[in-house]
Structure 1
Amino acid sequence: MEKHLREWRTTAVNKNQYETAIFVADKLLALTKDDNDAFWLAQAHFRTGNYSRAQTYLSRGQLIERNPQCRYLHAQCSIKLGKIEEALDTLGEQNPTHLISQPDNRHHKLRHVDVNVRSGRHKAALRSDRVPTSEEREREDSTSLKFEAGMCYLRGMCFAKQNAFDRAKECFKTAVQIDVQCFEAFDELMSNALMSPAEEWAFLESLDFDMINVEDNPSLSQEAAEFTKTLYITRLSKYGRPAEFTDAAETLSTHYNLSDNPDILLSKAELLFTNCQFRNALALTSYVLKTDKYNFAGIPIHVACLHELGEKNALFLLAHDLVDNHPQEPAAWLAVGTYYFSIHRIAEARRFFSKASVMNPHFGSAWIGFAHTFSAEGEHDQAISAYSTAARLFQGTHLPQLFLGMENLQLNNLSLAHEYLNTAYELCKDDPLLLNEMGVVFYQEENFPAAIEHFQRAIAIAEQNEADHDALLPTRNNLAHALRQSGHLEEALDVFDEVLRHGDKDVAVFSAKGLVLLQLGRSWDAIVTLHEALAIDPQATLATDLLNKAFAENESEPIANDEEEFADLDRKVKGRLAGQGKALDSMMLDSDI
């Protein structure tokens, strides 16, 4: 009879007929009094949203104390009911670090374990205070280890809801170290940027993928371990080791036929976006959304690409579709906020970014977008406050620190700008936008050699990443101004020419080029260039003044070439350099936050 009832129950669960499963499981539990049957019944109630009833069954007969599966499900119910303290009371606040498996600890290691503290009031001290790590793992069956890892994950979720992010991070790390297949914990670490790119790679190398066992077959187990590690590499920050990511993606695409897999394609799109290849990234995200229209993991990167490329109509249609069909998803309101941000309706954008962040307090894109709205209106104090919140929530990414530096640069707080940008640089040394902003600070401090070095590094990295030409124009323009100030006039002229060849016709760039030509004594060329500037904006005061000087010099009248003659230009140039870097901040809306 028990076998018949279990088959009936399993069939009902597989068909999503949970009322049938509950009806049968209730009779089966009455017959067997078995812990596993009690767990199945509670799980059926959990899947129907009856969390309190599930806890009622789990609380019978000390199931929570003796069965890790039941303790795990009981804590899950508490979290669903919003009872975070109750969940922590069930789980205990300490992680079972004695169960951690590492690649290089095949020999026995002794670790001090306070089991009573870890398990709270529910679990008796079943182990000695000092036990060999490897022996301890061997005593646990694989199912128990997986549920121990799952409880570390739930413990981390509880701490995250309490804004104790350092403790949450340690819980998530322990969960993956105990069971490398606990992807939920790994994804929390990566998607919420709880570690810097360097820390992510160090953590990946510390994981023991050899714990994966497939049918006790060493060959299959080794292949599964390598496959899992390769998959995890594609989830790491795209600011670190792009070559390793490319190799991993290629392996998954060719050896495992995952070239069209949405997760792999979205990872490639993130790398392209990071490298400022917005159109190529958009092509990949569009392909993914064509086959999986409501893939919410891909919505933030897709929205960011549309924004960078000025695709306002596409943003409008996407936002309407998402809100009409999935208003409960934060990504839908992110799309709405980004659309309003794109058409410069900042108040509406702020409202919808705020709504998305309230729906998911750990939604990095929404927090950054919310802060951008204050920056766009020049409300620097509120922007700094919002970016500071993002920096506290997402400690592993450099972007909030970068934006804080940019805001302080706008306020001419150069020492604070330096501090924030240096903090961002410690987290990520290969972001062209960050290097550009550091160059702007050095320019403002009149440390032109350092400014030139940073601008050149930013351009070199962007070119190596095959970034779009348009993304490089502000940095090239900044480099040209720094070269001019350093007296490298011929080099500055070449860079200004390159900016004008690849970019929009800008009166300020023509004016700066005219100034360089004047300094080189090429007055007639300066006259031609300044006429082009005035053709764009006849009211450009600076271009008019420079044109008068060029005419005078062309008539063989001596022109003073000292700093006072060009003080007005220099002030405007400095303001322009700071502004140009800031204009690029919206490209980071989706970022690794």
Structure 2
Amino acid sequence: MVGRSTVKQRPTPARESTIKDLAQTPTSLPTSSTSAMSTSVDTSQALATNDGSSEFGEIDNLIQRYLASTQYKTALFWADKRLALCRRNGSQPSFVDMARFIKVLAAAGEWTRLMAYCDRHELIMKHMLFSYFYVNGLYRKKLFMDILKLKLGTVVDRSHDLIFSVMPHMVQLSKPKSSIPSSEEVAALDKMSEDMQIEAGLLLLLGKAYLMTQNRRAAFSCLQGAVCKDDSCIEAFELIQKYRLYSKQRFEELIERSGDKNSMVVALRNYYFSQGSKNASLPMLLLGTFLSDFLNSDSSVNEALTTDLSILTARAAHLYQTGDLQGAYNITNEILDEAGMFQDCLLIHIATLVQLRKFESLFILAHQLVDSQPDNEVSWYTVGCYYYSIGQLGAAKNFLNKCTSMNCTFGEGWLAFGHALTAESEHEQAMNCYLRLPCKI
């Protein structure tokens, strides 16, 4: 990590400011971003767009174009040039300019450089937007404990007591060494955060980090906050469901009361979760009148939704849970034939191959996964399941141990590991594996 350095302060109002004050949303956006630097007429014209709305408009358009076409190296090249031009005549880039640069770094996957930049300019506690990208970088690098050491209590909304009760507090003990955002910059950063639903994203990352460190209660609190802030955040709902952070009944109640039933987005979300329900009355309850009427009025809509891979996967999971192994296998096999290695249905497909004793297919799938995704715990889990299925328990234990070491929250891996140990009468070790499975609070 790059060491912290002192940055020259920009003129700020003569008052004592704290980071807590900066977390409040201003009521208006800045009306002008024109720089007062003395540059030549030719340079000013080159940096201005046709409508004069931004002095870096031409470069911004280039960056957006290359990001859209996934040419991240070129996009980052122009983002570097834009940031360098912000330092003309000894000035410093604004916090908005820094935020735009960090967004390009994130899109390009330059997480190490992103974290170093945030740390050197002491951006982490300046605004929630910077906190989100920094935490995202730590999560991508699997530095989960470093995430939980950050004192993010003042950059997250305190209105949700359940969330804030598990968030570390930060006390401002001294005047910050670097400059702080002006009210106009805070307003612009708030607008960017609102457009990107940054707060929900930050709570989601914190919830995932808490899960990786086995702190289920804190994870539950953060994920609950994420779905309250963004009722279309499917990943947060799925984590709550997968790790049994809610009972089945409470989860169904959460889905039912979250969001506007007259919204197409919420209705489609509810339709997705209704596919895995064993309660026959639940699907219509979750759908509400909006999507129910929509589906009944046009059969082609219902037919189209049945081709969606996520909905097909949910149906396959439901069939597997109800004992229809062949039906679940038919769906997952069709998905993999159509979409390749669709990650969401892999675990169900592997389970059906084991139960149906399709050893040859399991062997081929294991080789394909190890070749294409060696860093994915599911790949080694598949290998372990193959050896378990053919009775080579020693090899099965080795590979299942490897997959659970790669991801300590991988419940399917712990379950299979426990079965392999049980088959060799290692009951005490098997119980240790079973105790690692997700359980209800």
TM-score by length of structure 2 reads: 0.71
Q: Structure 2 residue aligned with 1:268, among 290, 295, 315? A: 315
For structure 1, list consecutive stretches of 5 or more residues without a partner in the other structure.
Answer: 101-110, 125-139, 211-220, 398-593
Match of 1:290 in 2: 337
For the pair 1:19 / 2:73, whether they are aligned, the reply is: yes
Match of 1:55 in 2: 115
What amino acid maps onto 2:431 in structure 1?
I
1:34 deviates by 3.6
| Contact 1:278–1:305, Cα closer than 8 Å, also in 2 | yes
For the pair 1:244 / 2:290, whether they are aligned, the reply is: no
1:276 deviates by 0.5
| Counterpart secondary structure, 2:232 | coil
Larger Rg: 1
For the pair 1:29 / 2:83, whether they are aligned, the reply is: yes
What amino acid maps onto 2:134 in structure 1?
H
Q: Structure 2 residue aligned with 1:167, among 206, 214, 218? A: 218
Match of 1:201 in 2: 252
Paired with 1:116 and 1:190, the residues of 2 have a C-alpha distance of: 21
Q: Point out the structure with the larger helix share.
A: 1
Paired with 1:354 and 1:245, the residues of 2 have a C-alpha distance of: 39
**CA 123–326 in structure 1, closer or farther in 2 if over 3 Å, else same:** farther
1:271 deviates by 0.7
Paired with 2:166 and 2:420, the residues of 1 have a C-alpha distance of: 49
1:262 deviates by 1.2
**Cα displacement string for residues 279-312 of structure 1 (whole angstroms, at most 9, x for unaligned residues):** 1111101100111221122111111112212222
Paired with 1:151 and 1:372, the residues of 2 have a C-alpha distance of: 37
Q: Structure 1 residue aligned with 2:407, among 360, 365, 372? A: 360
Match of 1:67 in 2: 127
Paired with 2:155 and 2:247, the residues of 1 have a C-alpha distance of: 22
Paired with 1:197 and 1:381, the residues of 2 have a C-alpha distance of: 30
What amino acid maps onto 1:244 in structure 2?
L
For CA contacts below 8 A with separation 6 or more, give which structure has more relative contact order. 2
Paired with 2:348 and 2:163, the residues of 1 have a C-alpha distance of: 43
Match of 1:46 in 2: 106
Q: Structure 1 residue aligned with 2:301, among 249, 255, 262? A: 255
| Contact 2:274–2:286, Cα closer than 8 Å, also in 1 | yes
| Contact 2:128–2:156, Cα closer than 8 Å, also in 1 | no
**CA 378–344 in structure 1, closer or farther in 2 if over 3 Å, else same:** same
Alignment of 1:471-510 (within 5 A): none
Match of 2:439 in 1: 395
| Contact 1:95–1:118, Cα closer than 8 Å, also in 2 | no
Match of 2:7 in 1: none
Q: Structure 2 residue aligned with 1:192, among 234, 237, 243? A: 243
**Cα displacement string for residues 207-265 of structure 1 (whole angstroms, at most 9, x for unaligned residues):** 2347xxxxxxxxxx72333223323444x6x4x52553488799678535221111111
CA RMSD of aligned residues (A): 3.4
Alignment of 1:418-429 (within 5 A): none
For structure 2, list consecutive stretches of 5 or more residues without a partner in the other structure.
Answer: 1-46, 48-55, 87-92, 175-189
Paired with 2:165 and 2:349, the residues of 1 have a C-alpha distance of: 47
Paired with 2:57 and 2:435, the residues of 1 have a C-alpha distance of: 58
**CA 71–122 in structure 1, closer or farther in 2 if over 3 Å, else same:** farther
Paired with 2:137 and 2:236, the residues of 1 have a C-alpha distance of: 18
Match of 1:337 in 2: 384
**Cα displacement string for residues 32-74 of structure 1 (whole angstroms, at most 9, x for unaligned residues):** 5343332232233334443232134334666444432122101
| Counterpart secondary structure, 1:389 | coil
**CA 356–204 in structure 1, closer or farther in 2 if over 3 Å, else same:** same
Paired with 1:361 and 1:314, the residues of 2 have a C-alpha distance of: 27
1:204 deviates by 2.0
Alignment of 1:87-236 (within 5 A): 87-90=147-150, 92=152, 96=156, 98-99=158-159, 120-121=170-171, 143-144=193-194, 146-209=197-260, 222-234=263-275
Paired with 1:64 and 1:318, the residues of 2 have a C-alpha distance of: 43
**Cα displacement string for residues 329-370 of structure 1 (whole angstroms, at most 9, x for unaligned residues):** 222222222221211111111222222212222222111100
1:387 deviates by 1.1
| Contact 1:266–1:285, Cα closer than 8 Å, also in 2 | yes
Match of 1:134 in 2: none
| Contact 1:233–1:248, Cα closer than 8 Å, also in 2 | yes
Paired with 1:325 and 1:20, the residues of 2 have a C-alpha distance of: 27
| Contact 1:71–1:90, Cα closer than 8 Å, also in 2 | no
For the pair 1:313 / 2:313, whether they are aligned, the reply is: no
What amino acid maps onto 1:230 in structure 2?
Y
**CA 86–363 in structure 1, closer or farther in 2 if over 3 Å, else same:** closer
**CA 73–59 in structure 1, closer or farther in 2 if over 3 Å, else same:** same
| Contact 2:203–2:226, Cα closer than 8 Å, also in 1 | yes
Sequence identity percentage = 24
**CA 142–227 in structure 1, closer or farther in 2 if over 3 Å, else same:** farther
**CA 306–112 in structure 1, closer or farther in 2 if over 3 Å, else same:** closer
| Contact 1:159–1:167, Cα closer than 8 Å, also in 2 | yes
Match of 2:20 in 1: none
Give the total of aligned pairs: 356
| Contact 2:75–2:104, Cα closer than 8 Å, also in 1 | yes
| Contact 1:65–1:122, Cα closer than 8 Å, also in 2 | no
| Contact 1:176–1:186, Cα closer than 8 Å, also in 2 | yes
Paired with 1:202 and 1:120, the residues of 2 have a C-alpha distance of: 35
Paired with 1:208 and 1:93, the residues of 2 have a C-alpha distance of: 26
Paired with 2:71 and 2:354, the residues of 1 have a C-alpha distance of: 44
1:317 deviates by 2.0
